[in-house]
Structure formats: C-alpha cells, structure tokens
Homo-oligomer: A and B are copies of this chain.
C-alpha cells in the first residue's frame, strides 16, 4: 500500500478559495452536528527560538478519515531563515486501519482555510452591500482574508494598517495586482477602521489595537489574530454592544479574542450569540438588521483542516497529482 505525498506545489495546483469556502462551511456544520471528534489542541512551546508547535487532530466518521496537523509558529523565521513564520504538515489516516493515506504540506491549507473562515462568517454576519474592508496587519493572513471576502461580497476598497509601513506598501502592491481592487495603506489603525464596513484583525498583538469608538453601526468584525492565552486585538467594550459569534465556544473563551471580555466579566458565556455552525444550520439567526455590530471570533478548528485536506487529497487522487511512496 502506498502513501500519497503532496508538496506545497502540488497543493497549490489543487486548492482554490471557492472550494475552501465550501469545505469550511461543511466543517462548521459538521462540528455543530456533532459529526467530528476533536481532542483539545496539544501545544509545545519553544521559548529558546521564539516559537511554538500546535498539534490539531480530529476524526470524521463520515469521511472515515483522521487528520493530524503539526503547525509551527516561529517568529524569527522570516529574518533568520528566510522561511515563513507558519509551516505546517498535515497527515491523513484511514480510520478503518490507521494507514497513512496522505502526507501533505499543510501551510497553504492552513492559510486558505483560515481565510475562508472569515469569508464564511461574512456571508451570514456582514451587510451584503459591504464594499470597504479595514485590515489590521499586512501579512499573509491579511491577504487571505480579503481574497476570501472578495468571493462573498462586492469589495472595492481595502484600507490597511501595519506596524511596519513597508509591509503595508508591499501588501498594496500584491493585492492590487491579485484582485484588481484599490488598497490604501493607512498611517494609523484608526484610519483603517473608521468607515470600513468590515474590519479584519490579523496580528499576534497582546493588547487592543481597535477601539470601540471607531466602530460604526453595521460593522462586521473578523477577529482572526487571537488564538492563544494573552492575545488581544479588540478593545473589550466592543463586545458589550456586538452580536458575538465564535467558531468553538470552548476554545474562543479560553484562547480567542473573546477571552478578554470574559475575563473582565464584561460579558458572560451566555452573551455569546452562537457558534457559526449553528447559524449555517439555520438553528440561530445571523445578521438581522443593518445596524448590528457583529464579531466573528475564530481560533481555528481541526475539522477545517480535515474537510479541506480531504478535499485536496481526493482531487489529487483523481487527477494523479503528487507522488506515491511506500512509507510503511
């Protein structure tokens, strides 16, 4: 028996944002239908090298697949090794035998499925006439979020702010070429946020960057940066006036943007409106009027990796992409 190996280049041939939006939608619904086994994330800190490794595993009885993703976050990588901060490997195992059917680059899948998460949230939580996005941070995820939003909404203008001015300029160049939209680097976070219909936060910040008074009625906020204890991008007060939606309640109150207002007792668990899968399944409402402020807080779930990686694996098999090795 053989194991399929898919390099980043192989995955790149297959992965599209449209397909990823479909697989992430499916993932969220499966999660809230109880159709997935997801043990708590395993984390290893590597303080010596300013890094961490997260292991996210899950089992989909429907797809008869177990997925294990090892994802590194090493903040010295770009400067010291000319490598991206985030590198990931996903392996898929046949749930009938434990046989490793596929080992693939997980870096691209993580980027796409995280981008698609924001897009899926915008379908049910953003005003459908939203055309201006304010983006905090100008890294890879700041790109992916807008790529996904552009599939969902009539986005015309992106206002971007980064701590590093050059990075915002680089972002403008890349995104204007890629999507043919207008990108305006801003001199402050405030300028990027004010009058944006959608606000996306993508930094590893540990204190608030986006202030409550900047947020106008009708805004949808996609809080992607916070995924560990201590991380925060939004002033907590925003939560007291917003409809709060999370991917996983359990994870977000512990490690997501929602951790801070919960800790300060500005909101309680019961103030969280829904997990996004509940909305997609029609069990709870999404946006109900044009004035609501909505927040989508996501820390990322293994089931997004499973559905996306499985989709890539199936297409690779059909199209005979990648190499086949005798591993075991």
Q: Chain A: residues with CB nearer than 8 A to chain B? A: 1, 5, 7-9, 37, 39-40, 42-46, 48-49, 51, 53, 55, 57-59, 61, 66, 68, 70-74, 76-77, 80-81, 83, 87, 89, 91, 93, 95-100, 103-105, 107, 323, 325-328
CB distance from A281 to the nearest CB of B (A): 24
Task: From B5, B8, B37, B46, give the contact of A5 (CB < 8 A).
Answer: B5
**Chain B residues near A107 (CB-CB < 8 A):** 328
**Chain B residues near A61 (CB-CB < 8 A):** 48
Assembled-state Cα–Cα distance A44/B37 (Å): 7
A72-B98 in contact (CB<8A): yes
**Chain B residues near A104 (CB-CB < 8 A):** 327
Closest to A104 in B: B327
B66-A105 in contact (CB<8A): no
Assembled-state Cα–Cα distance A49/B32 (Å): 23
**Chain B residues near A37 (CB-CB < 8 A):** 44-45
Q: A89-B91, A327-B7 are in contact. Are A53 and B73 (CB under 8 A)?
A: no
**Chain B residues near A40 (CB-CB < 8 A):** 42
Copies of this polypeptide in the complex: 2
Interface centre among A7, A37, A89 (most CB of B within 10 A): A89
Task: From B45, B55, B77, B97, give the contact of A72 (CB < 8 A).
Answer: B97
B81-A59 in contact (CB<8A): no
Ranked 5 nearest A-B pairs via Cβ: A72-B98, A74-B98, A49-B96, A87-B98, A44-B59
B46-A327 in contact (CB<8A): no
B97-A51 in contact (CB<8A): yes
A68-B66 in contact (CB<8A): no
Assembled-state Cα–Cα distance A83/B61 (Å): 21
Task: From B58, B98, B327, give the contact of A8 (CB < 8 A).
Answer: B327
B70-A42 in contact (CB<8A): no
A55-B53 in contact (CB<8A): no
Q: A44-B37, A103-B103 are in contact. Are A89 and B51 (CB under 8 A)?
A: no
Assembled-state Cα–Cα distance A222/B328 (Å): 28
Task: From B48, B57, B95, B97, give the contact of A55 (CB < 8 A).
Answer: B57
